Amino acid sequence: NRLVGRAVCRPARLDAADPVTTETLLRGHHAAVSCVPWFLNGVVAQAAVQARVHFCDLGGNTEMVERELAMHPEASARGVSLIPDCGLAPGLGNTLAAHAIESFDAEVSVHIRCGGLPVDPKPPLNYMLVFSIHGLINEYTGEAEFLRGGSLVRVPTLGEPEELDFGSLGRLEAAVTSGGTSTAPKTFMPGGKVRDYDYKTLRYAGHWPRIRTLDELGLLDAKPVALGAAKIRPRDLTAACLIPRLTMPDGKDLVVLRVWAEGMKGGRRRRVQYDVLEYGDPATGFTAMERTTAFPAALVAHMMARGETMRGAIPLETSVPAGPHIDRLRGWGIGIAVTESPA
């Protein structure tokens, strides 16, 4: 909304759940970036295909992404590029993972850890909303899909806690969340080169036990429960309670992303690690989450508009060249540090 009124922005209001009005708005444009909540991406993607407009989104729910990828025949026939999962995680994390995988010969294990955090955490959750509450609850529920030992496995969310040291940030806690790997485990499984591929979300200490309590009490459930004469979904009530408590208009955020991979290279076992630590940009007013989510998606949209992407509905990890994408992000001010060492 801060861009409204500037030459780069012409606002319009519509119901993104209405395919007809969405198609009408999209028609005549070169490319579209969908930043709506994940459950609306299927409608907007279909509208883009009908309007013959290239389309990318921020993903977040693997089942929805697979529905979008099923549009491949129609998108290809209409000359449209449709690429989900182009934000931060899923998105940049998987692009860095793909770049790492390219550098190895065999026996690759990939691990992605990412979090959007407040610079000044406040109890009890030590968290602030940096994107849709609906997307957040979606990530905290269900199962994640990983590669382990070369096989696809489904892992319950909020489990497998671990601690990692991030230098000046101190130690952060990671736990399994859904959607971060998206289609990458299925993409990289054939051939056996990639043995392991997983994703966990980073938070300050104390966050995960409290979220597990909400989950164990059923407060993140999607199944409606009776409340007097009404039926409500517990997660909707939880969202309504959390939004005012986690919304911090003057709060500053940061994004931390670490991707590391180990594998065989030239007959030796090697390790490569990518680190991103971003803060908000006071010159533009963009938050850390806005920069690290929107910039990768905008770059994909640029590629689409220039005709640099394949036609059809194709996963990010096979449709966007990782090296050039990383170089362009660096040119846009996103710092990506890479270190290599023996494993």
Residue at 123: amino acid letter: P
What pLDDT is recorded for position 93?
A: 98
d(CA 297, CA 318): 15
Residue at 89: amino acid letter: A
Q: Give the residue extent of every domain in the chain.
A: 92-209+243-287+320-342
Task: With CA atoms as reference, report the closest residue to 83 among 313, 324, 322.
Answer: 313
Average pLDDT over the chain, rounded to an integer: 96
Q: What percent of the chain has pLDDT over 70?
A: 100
pTM of the shown model? 0.94
- Please compute Rg for the chain using Cα positions: 20
What pLDDT is recorded for position 1?
A: 66
H/E stretch holding 106:
strand 106-118
Task: With CA atoms as reference, report the closest residue to 138 among 81, 214, 220.
Answer: 220
What pLDDT is recorded for position 265?
A: 96
Q: Do 253 and 289 meet the contact criterion of CB atoms below 8 Å apart?
A: yes
Buried/exposed 79-101: b ≥16 CB within 10 Å, e otherwise: ebbbbbbbbbbbbbbbbbbbbbb
Mind listing the pLDDT tens digit for each residue in 148-198? 999 999 999 999 999 999 998 999 999 999 999 999 999 999 999 999 999
* Pair type for strands 54-57 and 106-118: unpaired
CATH architecture of 92-209+243-287+320-342: 2-Layer Sandwich (3.30)
List, as one string, the DSSP characters of 254-311: EEEEEEEEEEEETTEEEEEEEEEEEE-BTTTTB-HHHHHHHHHHHHHHHHHHTT-S-S
Tell me which residues of the chain have a pLDDT lower than 50: none
Q: Which 3 state secondary structure label does DSSP give 41?
A: helix
Give CA 153 to chain center in angstroms: 20
* Burial class of residue 31, CB neighbours in 10 A (0-12, 13-18, 19+): buried
Which pair of tokens denotes residue 284? 């533009």
